[in-house]
Structure 1
Amino acid sequence: MSYYDLNKTGQTSQFLQVLKDCVAEAGNTGLLHIEKQIEVDCKASHKELVTLVDRQNEQFIVNRIKEAFPHHKVMGEESYTGETFQSDDYVWIIDPIDGTTNYVHQKQCFAVSVALYHQGEGICGAVYNPSAKELFWVERGAGAYLNGHRLFLDGQQSRLADSLIATYIYYNDDEKYAGFDQFVDRIARTSRGVRMIGCGSLELAYVACGRFSAYFSFVQKPWDFAAGKLLIEEAGGIVTGLNGKPVDAYKSASILAGPKSLHEEMTAISNAILAM
């Protein structure tokens, strides 16, 4: 059953419908190319991959948004050059393929993530996992959903000792100097385990639906967390920096996301360990 079948009887905003169309078509385009010879380049390092599909997907999404909302602004992973935004701008934050390394090597565990923000607050967003045909979508004040099912974090694991945690680790000097390795060690020892999929938007979506108890990362770009942040908040959870402070949706930030009581427990650990 397609997401159109699941949601066609509901009333969705014009923004949300365009957003759903974009992530579904871009995700399915990714699937069409997955068994072909994919053109791959590197960005700043050999660990940061970009494919022709990333660029084509982003251009398709940008064109679709501009056709529908010509005065809106765009922050796309493959085209963003550091522009700043006015407080009244509508800003679409786009990751045309999140988990590109997974896409190239594993042919799975990747997603398309798009969110719309206004005055720094999320309006709506979606994360689409084409391999599993799963569409996570959210509208501010109307809830978070996986396909047609409402997501709630109430009653999810409330103690770190009972929790399975997701993360992303860069293994770089910034993490080392901040003591991030000590934080990871403490979380891994105290929880039931730590997992790293390599697709931040999908891992945040998995927190929203309860597959992971929480997620943390030393640094994430806006396109990595914009949609997932809103998903978790509308499901009843909390998303902040590792220090417990609010994050700016238009800037890179550390991320700590999960249900309230677990978030508080992990924040207390991070504030005791990390130099941030």
Structure 2
Amino acid sequence: MNEPVVGSKSFAAVAINCASKAGEWIKTKLGNYQRLDEKMSPHDLVTEVDKGSEKLIRSLIMMNFPSHSFLGEEGVEPGPEASARALESVRDAEYLWIVDPVDGTTNFVHGFPFFVVSIALAHKGEIILGVVYDPSADELFIAEKGKGAYVHGKRMSVSGEETLRSSLVATGFPAEHRTALPRNLEQLRRIAPKVRNIRSSGSAALHLAYVAAGRLSGFWEIGLNSWDIAAGALLVQESGGAVGDIDGTPYHLGVRDVAATNGQIHGELLAELAD
């Protein structure tokens, strides 16, 4: 596939520029943000840094591609219904940028260095570009559809584990505590004895990037949004892994309950989650 270019700017170059500029700026605000607000619950946080990062990314993208559509976390009201409505209104756009300006805000607030900038570009509903930038580790993960996925300029491929028993997997704990968290904890109770160990870094986009890089064999989380998953899903696919809904449906923009693996343990993980 030829790299799509509008004017002299490639989509990938703009995404990389946005992610690295936003990431560097976020890092300067570590321990230095002014205002902390709760969104849906005390477990769902937002700072002016999230909003500033999104504004910076949006303005750079719109400067380069004024006709493109934009879906960013901070432009959407909290809650799953609002997220679904926001996605529905733009999902058929010719070009749609899907952005999480700080994935891992709670980590950022506490100075725990696992937060990323996630930027994806969808063409008519299909992800064609995904960038996840971790400013603390200065790692930029990038995938273009049909071209593979890379970190530090090296091609990524998923891990080789063939069974859950030999796998390191990750999960995330949902901000919604009425139904999603109890469901997640029940899944955790089932999966924990079956795997080598479980991790939770607090950033879905980073977990997906780590599956792509072979650092995790698998990851699942429930109650996510398109901006949490879009870029990371392409990273996993282009690294040879499998990603989709935990009910077995292949990945699409509307997926909220995600499972991503090296492909080899996918069936086994889904079977455990289904039980």
Q: Please confirm whether the aligned pair reaches a TM-score higher than 0.5, indicating the same fold.
A: yes
For residues 128 and 228 of structure 2, the distance between their equivalents in structure 1, rounded to whole angstroms, comes to 16
Match of 1:204 in 2: 208
5 Å-filtered alignment, 1:86-125, equals 87-125=92-130
Give the partner amino acid of 2:32: K
Residues 176-221 of structure 1: CA distance to partner in whole angstroms, max 9, x if unpaired?
67x5433221210000111111011011101111111100012211
Q: Give me the whole-angstrom Cα distance separating, in 1, the residues matched to 2:40 and 2:110.
A: 19
For 1:3, the equivalent position in structure 2 comes to: none
Matches within 5 A, 1:1-276: 14-80=10-76, 82-83=85-86, 84-85=89-90, 87-153=92-158, 156-170=160-174, 172-175=177-180, 179-249=183-253, 251=254, 253-271=256-274, 273=275
Find the aligned partners of 1:182 and 1:192 in 2 and give their Cα distance: 18
- How far residue 80 of structure 1 moved from its aligned partner, in angstroms, is 2.7
8 A Cα contact 2:246 2:257, kept in partner: yes
Q: How far has the Cα of 1:264 moved from its partner? A: 1.1
Q: Does the 8 A contact of 1:247 with 1:253 survive in 2?
A: no
Whole-angstrom CA distance in 2 between matches of 1:26 and 1:12 = 23
* Structure 2 CA distance for aligned equivalents of residues 97 and 142 of structure 1: 26
| Residues in 2 aligned to 1:37 and 1:58: alpha-carbon distance in whole angstroms | 15
Distance 1:37 1:259 in 2: 37
Question: In the alignment, residue 257 of structure 1 is paired with which amino acid?
Answer: A
Contact 1:34-1:107 at 8 Å conserved across structures = no
Q: Distance in 2 between matches of 1:162 and 1:183?
A: 18
Inter-partner Cα distance in structure 2 for 1:247 and 1:12: 23
The answer to whether the 8 Å contact 2:116/2:206 transfers is yes
Q: Which runs of 5+ in 2 are unaligned?
A: 78-84
The 3-state SS of whatever aligns with 2:46 is strand
Paired residues of 2:184 and 2:221 also in contact (CA < 8 A): no
Percent of counterpart pairs with the same letter? Answer: 37
Query: Counterparts of 1:85 and 1:12 in 2: how far apart (Å)?
Result: 21
TM-score between both structures, scaled by the size of structure 1? 0.89
Residue 120 of structure 1 deviates from its aligned partner by 1.8
Q: 1:12 to 1:28 in 2, by over 3 A?
A: farther
Which string of whole-angstrom CA distances, capped at 9 and with x for unpartnered residues, describes residues 40-74 of structure 1? Answer: 11112111111111101101111111111111111
Report the number of matched residues.
259
My pick for the range that moved more, 86-95 or 18-27, is: 86-95
- Give the distance between the partners of 2:123 and 2:134, measured in 1 at CA: 25
Query: What is the SS of the residue equivalent to 1:182?
Result: helix
- Residue 214 of structure 1 aligns with an amino acid whose one-letter code is G
State the shift of 1:172 in Å.
2.4
TM-score scaled by length of structure 2: 0.89
Query: Gaps (5+ residues) in structure 1?
Result: 1-10
Distance 1:86 1:247 in 2: 14
Task: Indicate the larger mover: 257-266 or 159-168.
Answer: 257-266
Cα RMSD (Å) of the superposition? 1.8
CA distance in 2, matches of 1:180, 1:110: 21
